[in-house]
Amino acid sequence: MSNFDQSNKDVENTFVRYSESMLNDIFGTTDVTPFWVADMDFTVANPIKAELQRITDRAQFAYEFNSDAVFAAITGWYQRRHDLTLDAAKFVQVPGVLTGIALLIRELTKKGDGVLFQAPAYHQFNKVIVSAGRKAVKSPLKIVDGRYEMDFDDLNTNLSADDVNAMILCNPHNPVGRVWTREEMEKVAEIANKHGVTIISDEIHSDIIYPGHTFTSLMSVDAQNHVALIGSPAKTFGMQSISNGYIYTENAELYDTMYGVSDSMYLGHGNTFTTFATIAAFDKGAQWVDELLIYLKDSIDWIENFLKEELPEVKMYPVEGTYQIWFDFSETGFSGDDLKQKYAEAGFGFSPGTWFDQNAVDFARMNIAAPRADIQGAFKRLKAVFENSTDGIRSTPVKAEAKTKQSCC
């Protein structure tokens, strides 16, 4: 049984989540427990460690490429795990998921075109669009009975524009935690096809799915007209700094184009550590992932119960997938910089909601892939800060714009 409760605070590192400059910029202090980066504070699975150790002990690092074995491991995993049949010959390896999205945007659209995504959204989507000289087109998700849903009417309107030729879909969705149903995936593909829009489906969180929900890859709905970033072990296995991204499509023309781009820029070489760690993860890491999901679900249940009993003013949206939780603090009366000051006082390193939607001043995202004792301590401190505020948890919100120079992951 994996020990997810183990503290890793004393591990020598330069992890982004502990960056003093970023912590000071975001929270005004370095004295926070960091839940703001979507990576893991867990030791990786033993098969991954063993493979990395094998390569290190060998002490030889000559040219070594084995992408065919990587693609075979990925296809085997998705067949066993999700009953999803993928063709190992239809993958294009790139250095990371965002690299793949950036390349696709440049190939599928031209400068000045619009690229749509659904907000609130992973904040790097906006950057990867705008930095390519494209226009970010936002389609707001809507809240129905306390749960986020796609606004298909808005999607239909925005995707009908002549200059919108691509859409980034996040499934499961970061930060709101939705796992889109097959019906939702079919509907969004239908709308995109009607308007000749190619969907780029970011499926990096596809293995972090909780009981009662099922992951539906866009590639099981329409792999001919669309493309997915699928198969990265980064989120599933905590391999964020040693993982590649993988573009997948069964559209022959698009595949040839993306393979040509990657090959011409030598993006598909990877490195030995990433190659064999990925194979070990997908071939031998299933038990570890099963244990991880149980641990994460127990943490979600603890947070939900704590909020219900101790901080009912804080709303937690249902978590169907990912290890990110989306919170609404509007009932506390604190907002924007005012809210950020409160959780900084508690040493609670949330991601500000405005990273994901400029209007989400009442919201924050939390990464829960961390030891539960750290999570419990942070929430207890947050409760104490709210209770000890001179004005308490106010009934009249104070609106403030949250400004942060840096963001990440």
- Dump the DSSP string for 343-402: HHHTTEEPEEGGGT-TT-TTEEEEE--S-HHHHHHHHHHHHHHHHHSTT-S-SS------
| pLDDT at 393 (0 to 100) | 55
Single-letter code of the amino acid located at 107 = E
| pLDDT at 407 (0 to 100) | 65
Cβ(18)–Cβ(250) below 8 Å: no
On the question of pLDDT at 404 being above 80, the answer is no
pLDDT category of residue 336 using cuts at 50, 70 and 90: confident
The segment(s) of the chain belonging to CATH 3.40.640.10 are: 63-284
pLDDT in tens, 138-155: 999 999 999 999 999 999
pLDDT in tens, 279-291: 999 999 999 999 9
pLDDT in tens, 60-86: 999 999 999 999 999 999 999 999 999
pLDDT category of residue 134 using cuts at 50, 70 and 90: very high
Q: How far is CA 302 from CA 33, 296, 368, in A?
A: 18, 10, 11
On the question of pLDDT at 396 being above 60, the answer is no
On the question of pLDDT at 395 being above 90, the answer is no
Question: Residue range 392-397: average pLDDT?
Answer: 44
pLDDT category of residue 270 using cuts at 50, 70 and 90: confident
Q: Which helix (H) or strand (E) holds 213?
A: none
| Whole-number average pLDDT of the chain | 93
Helical ranges in 172-229 per DSSP H: 182-194
Helix axes 46-58, 272-284, angle to 10 degrees: 150
Q: How far apart are CA 136 and CA 366, in angstroms?
A: 25
The segment(s) of the chain belonging to CATH 3.90.1150.10 are: 16-44+287-388
| pLDDT at 406 (0 to 100) | 56
| pLDDT at 2 (0 to 100) | 82
Question: Residue range 242-250: average pLDDT?
Answer: 96
Question: Residue range 395-406: average pLDDT?
Answer: 44
pLDDT category of residue 300 using cuts at 50, 70 and 90: very high
Q: How far apart are CA 223 and CA 248, in angstroms?
A: 8
Which of 7-11, 273-277, 347-351 is least confident?
Answer: 7-11
On the question of pLDDT at 398 being above 50, the answer is no
Helix axes 372-388, 286-310, angle to 10 degrees: 20
| pLDDT at 389 (0 to 100) | 77
On the question of pLDDT at 409 being above 80, the answer is no
pLDDT in tens, 198-226: 999 999 999 999 999 999 999 999 999 99
Q: Which helix (H) or strand (E) holds 144?
A: strand 142-144
User: Which superfamily, per CATH, for 16-44+287-388?
Assistant: Aspartate Aminotransferase, domain 1 (3.90.1150.10)
Q: How far apart are CA 25 and CA 6, in angstroms?
A: 29
**Fold of the domain spanning 63-284:** Aspartate Aminotransferase; domain 2 (3.40.640)
pLDDT category of residue 390 using cuts at 50, 70 and 90: low
Q: Give percent above pLDDT 90 in the chain.
A: 89
Looking up tokens 């308490």 gives 392
